[in-house]
């Protein structure tokens, strides 16, 4: 029964289907990179600098003589890891801060809201550039932590508003009357009703983190010895790959970032459709009218078939 509901949902939501397929393909190819290429991403092939795509090198080689296809696959592991790390840090902070402000209210809410407003005023990209430049060449893990620590205020504000709305509902008051502690009410009554919003926040931060990491590394603030999509673009820019017509050095990381971003965005839209009552109602009504139209077509076909049978009987008589 549950399986049929899941299949029905995917059929009724093309965005979800396309998004999930894109993410699964990327994860399969990056996590199982050794099954899709026999090349080492750091191995230098002598006398094969800027070689065009061939049967040996699917996406050609870089100016240093490294295989672009292998770097794209193995580099995706680090880029996705950075996104997941940043998303986990940002959503964890926004959960603790946002829910605490919304549930406890009073002085705690005033102090936290002031902090959120102050941090939100600071431009994130500029802050990231300043921290990265002061730190010098930073590792992908450190970039993920920096992005996570600077990306929580917007989600915290949304979760705060949602918590303030949920805390006054009857089931929360009933739990309080039954003697449940504040911590239990937070984790077992309020948080489960915000899972879709938390998921959407995580996916949104994941998209932003992957793009921000690629941007920082493209500008030269990453670890030049790490193989990521951002450092691949940085090295391509250093060697003037685009101006020299070496398009394959840019194609791999660019296509990977675009496909991953598109897949995550489509999934985020789907989560919004599920959690947003208006969008959910629109989807239900759209499915209803499609089903109604389908039933009308079937009824018309049945009527036409009945007329043909009647004519055949009259002709036989």
* pLDDT 10s digits, 285-304: 666 566 677 677 777 777 77
Q: Give the pLDDT of residue 9.
A: 67
The radius of gyration of the chain's CA atoms, rounded to the nearest angstrom, is: 27
Q: What pLDDT is recorded for position 293?
A: 74
The predicted structure's pLDDT at residue 281: 55
Report the pLDDT averaged over residues 179-183: 75
Most confident of 25-39, 51-65, 173-187: 25-39
181: which 2 tokens? 């502690």
Query: Strand, coil or helix: what is 30?
Result: helix
C-alpha distances out from residue 230 to 6, 29, 44, Å: 36, 18, 20
Residue with more model confidence, 172 or 110: 110
For residue 61, the cross-strand partners are: 67
Q: According to the model, what pLDDT value does residue 283 have?
A: 59
Lowest mean pLDDT among 70-74, 250-254, 279-283: 279-283
Q: What confidence score (pLDDT) does residue 237 get? A: 84
**Alpha-carbon distance values, 89 to 58, 104, 148 (Å):** 36, 22, 5
Report the pLDDT value the prediction gives residue 97, as an integer from 0 to 100.
87
Q: Which of 26-30, 86-90, 157-161, 240-244 has the lowest mean pLDDT?
A: 240-244
Average pLDDT over residues 39-50: 81
User: Which segment of 54-68, 118-132, 220-234 scores lowest on mean pLDDT?
Assistant: 118-132
Considering only CA atoms, which of 60, 67, 5, 47 is closest in space to residue 274?
A: 5
Compute CA distances 288 → 5, 275, 294, whole Å. 15, 19, 10
* Percentage, residues of the chain above pLDDT 70: 86
pLDDT at 61: 85
Q: How far is CA 40 from the centre of its chain?
A: 28
Q: Which of 44-53, 64-73, 308-317 has the lowest mean pLDDT?
A: 308-317
The better pLDDT of the pair 285, 273 is held by 273
Q: What is the pLDDT of residue 6?
A: 66
Q: How far apart are CA 164 and CA 265, in angstroms?
A: 28
* Mean pLDDT comparison of 13-22, 177-186, 219-228, highest-scoring range: 13-22
Half-sphere exposure of 111 (CA within 13 A, CB side): 6
Contacts of residue 95, Cβ cutoff 8 Å, sequence gap at least 6: 159, 191, 198
What's the confidence (pLDDT) of residue 313?
63
At 144 the pLDDT is: 84
Number of H helices, E strands in the chain: 14, 0
> What average pLDDT is seen over the chain?
80
b/e sequence 243-253, b meaning 16+ C-beta within 10 Å: eeebebbbbbb
Are the beta carbons of 64 and 231 closer than 8 angstroms? no
Mean pLDDT value across residues 131-157: 79
What is the pLDDT at residue 247? 84
Mean per-residue pLDDT for 91-113? 85
Query: Residue 273 above 80 pLDDT?
Result: no
């Amino acid at each position: 029964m549950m399986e049929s509901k899941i299949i029905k949902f995917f059929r009724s939501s093309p965005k979800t289907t396309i998004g999930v397929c894109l993410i699964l393909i990327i994860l399969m190819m990056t996590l199982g990179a050794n099954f899709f290429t026999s090349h080492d991403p750091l191995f230098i092939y002598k006398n094969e600098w800027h070689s065009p795509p061939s049967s040996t090198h699917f996406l050609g080689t870089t100016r240093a003589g490294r295989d672009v296809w292998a770097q794209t696959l193995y580099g995706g592991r680090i880029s996705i890891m950075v996104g997941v790390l940043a998303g986990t840090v940002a959503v964890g902070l926004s959960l603790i801060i946002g829910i605490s402000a919304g549930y406890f209210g009073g002085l705690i809410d005033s102090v936290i809201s002031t902090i959120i407003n102050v941090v939100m005023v600071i431009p994130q990209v500029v802050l990231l550039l300043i921290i990265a430049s002061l730190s010098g060449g930073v590792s992908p893990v450190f970039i993920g932590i920096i992005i996570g620590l600077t990306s929580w205020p917007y989600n915290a504000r949304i979760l705060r508003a949602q918590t303030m709305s949920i805390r006054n509902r009857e089931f929360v008051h009933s739990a309080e009357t039954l003697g449940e502690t504040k911590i239990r009410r937070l984790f077992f009554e309020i948080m489960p009703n915000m899972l879709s919003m938390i998921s959407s926040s995580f996916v949104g931060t994941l998209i932003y983190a992957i793009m921000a990491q690629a941007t920082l590394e493209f500008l030269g603030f990453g670890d030049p010895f790490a193989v990521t999509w951002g450092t691949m673009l940085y090295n391509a820019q250093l060697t003037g790959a685009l101006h020299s017509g070496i398009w394959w050095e840019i194609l791999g990381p660019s296509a990977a970032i675009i496909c991953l971003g598109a897949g995550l965005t489509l999934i985020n839209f789907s989560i919004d459709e599920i959690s947003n009552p208006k969008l959910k109602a629109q989807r239900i009504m759209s499915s209803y009218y499609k089903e109604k139209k389908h039933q009308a077509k079937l009824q018309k076909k049945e009527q036409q078939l009945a007329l043909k049978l009647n004519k055949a009987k009259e002709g036989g008589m």
